Structure 1
Amino acid sequence: MLTTQRKKLLLARLAAEGQLVAKALAQELGTSEDTIRRDLRDLAAEGLLQRVHGGALPASAAMGDLAVREQVSTADKVALGRFGASLVEPGQVVILDGGTTALQVARHLAPGLRATVVTHSPTVAIELAQHAGVEILLLGGRLFRHSMVNVGADVIAAASRLRADLFFLGVTGVHPDAGLSTGDAEEAAVKRALHARAAETVVLASPEKLMAASPFVVAALPEISLLAVARETPARVTRALLAGGVQLRKV
């Protein structure tokens, strides 16, 4: 089998089954594991899959910059944002991550809400400014333009001085085995620091993030308090996620 044919087969199998196991594929195709691993490396370099130990998972379609992500799953993000906003209670200290779904949470906070919201996203902070009763704490650092969030040692140091009730964590990959992941190492470090400072962490995951993986792990699925997904999420996907040990709600 030619290399191009084999790679097309790998991508078709990944789309159909949701994962690839290098050893099993090598046996099936009568080739070496090294050959399969080389194919997977090439496909990962093209952004077509995410390599994991022993094989590969689908690459997250949520890896584009903020402008690109604003065009993806817009109705689902509105519903998820509205649900997230409903979880915020008066007087709470809430950490709100960056990203398009976080913007929807900010937009749907109750008009008279009095609470403190901490964020490392200037974009989210500007949106929160529309809520007169919300005290806004903006964590400063180096601006990571891809996601429009501040990252670096200063953000992590500031996070260590927080004690929050709730953290809305944004990720680009949600998978029962690969966990919660994102595409940048420094951004992942900030997310881990914020997650560690909240009593509860909630992930609002639009469809393109589910059963996909990104390079840098933030947390295992069972470590969060709740995963909210779109109402139309297929049953096979919700079953797989629930098997991963997470509390899940369709909204």
Structure 2
Amino acid sequence: MLTRQRKQHLLELLKRDGQIVAKLLSEQLGLSEDTIRRDLRELAREGLLQRVHGGALPASPAMAPFAARQGISSDAKPAIGRAAAAMILPGQVVFIDGGTTAVQLVRQLPADLRATVVTHSPSIALELVEHAHVEVIMLGGRLFKHSIVGVGAAAIEAIGRVRADLYFMGVSGLHPEAGITTGDFEEAAVKRALSNAAATTVVLASPEKLNTASPYLIAPLAQVSSIVVNADVDDALLAPYRALGITVTLA
């Protein structure tokens, strides 16, 4: 089997099975593990999969810059935002992450809602400028232009001074084994700090993020209380998350 054919076969298996185990595949194909691992490394460099210990998982398309992500799952995100917005109770202090789905969340907040939103996202803060009854607290830090959010030591220090009721987290990847992941080391640290400072963490998961992984771990799924997903997601895809005791809200 030529290298190109072998790589195409690997991608087809990944799409079919949702993962690749290098040892098992080398036995099935009669190839060395080194050959399989080399192919996986090269495919990972092309952004076609995410390498993990022992094999590979599907790469998340949510690794694209903010502007490009606005066109991904554009039909699903408003519904997810609407369902998430309904979770916020009057008087609560809420962390809201950056990202295109989070923008949809704040656009769905009731006009009469009185609450406090704490965010490291200028995009989220701007969306709330005309919301008369929502107090907005912005966290500082270095602007991570890819996601348009603040990151770094200043952001994490500020987060440590807040105790929130809810945290609506945006992620690049969500996988039953790989946990919740994103594409930047510092951004992962900020998301982890936000989750640790909130009583409840809710993940906003548009369909393309389920069962995918990105390079940097935010936290294991045990950190997550609830996932908000689009209503037409296959129930079999959601079963592993429910089995972990996570509440799945269909939008």
Which TM-score tier does this pair reach, normalised by the shorter chain? Answer: over 0.9
- Report what 1:195 is aligned to: 195
Deviation at 1:243, TM superposition (A): 3.0
- Report what 1:154 is aligned to: 154
Does residue 128 of structure 2 align to residue 123 of structure 1? Answer: no
Uncovered stretches (5+) of structure 2, i.e. residues with no partner: none
Contact in 1 for aligned 2:50/2:57 (Cα 8 Å)? yes
Distance 1:245 1:36 in 2: 35
Distance 1:69 1:8 in 2: 26
- Report what 1:174 is aligned to: 174
Contact in 2 for aligned 1:177/1:244 (Cα 8 Å)? no
- Report what 1:87 is aligned to: 87
Contact in 2 for aligned 1:116/1:135 (Cα 8 Å)? yes
SS in 2 for 1:112: coil
Distance 1:112 1:85 in 2: 13
Distance 1:55 1:139 in 2: 38
Contact in 2 for aligned 1:176/1:243 (Cα 8 Å)? no
SS in 1 for 2:167: strand
- Report what 1:139 is aligned to: 139
Letter in 1 for 2:204: L
Q: Deviations over 1:93-130 (max 9, x none)?
A: 00000001110111111101111100000011000112
Distance 2:210 2:222 in 1: 15
Distance 2:129 2:224 in 1: 28
Query: How does 1:1-251 map onto structure 2 within 5 Å?
Result: 1-251=1-251
SS in 2 for 1:199: strand
Letter in 2 for 1:21: V
Q: Deviations over 1:202-236 (max 9, x none)?
A: 01100010110001111111221101111000122
Deviation at 1:241, TM superposition (A): 2.5
Contact in 1 for aligned 2:51/2:57 (Cα 8 Å)? yes
Deviation at 1:239, TM superposition (A): 1.5
RMSD, aligned α-carbons = 0.9
TM-score, structure 1 normalization: 0.98
Q: Deviations over 1:62-92 (max 9, x none)?
A: 1111101111111210001011111111111
Uncovered stretches (5+) of structure 1, i.e. residues with no partner: none
Q: Percent identity?
A: 58
Deviation at 1:245, TM superposition (A): 3.9
SS in 2 for 1:47: coil
Contact in 2 for aligned 1:116/1:134 (Cα 8 Å)? yes
Contact in 1 for aligned 2:195/2:223 (Cα 8 Å)? no
Distance 2:80 2:98 in 1: 14
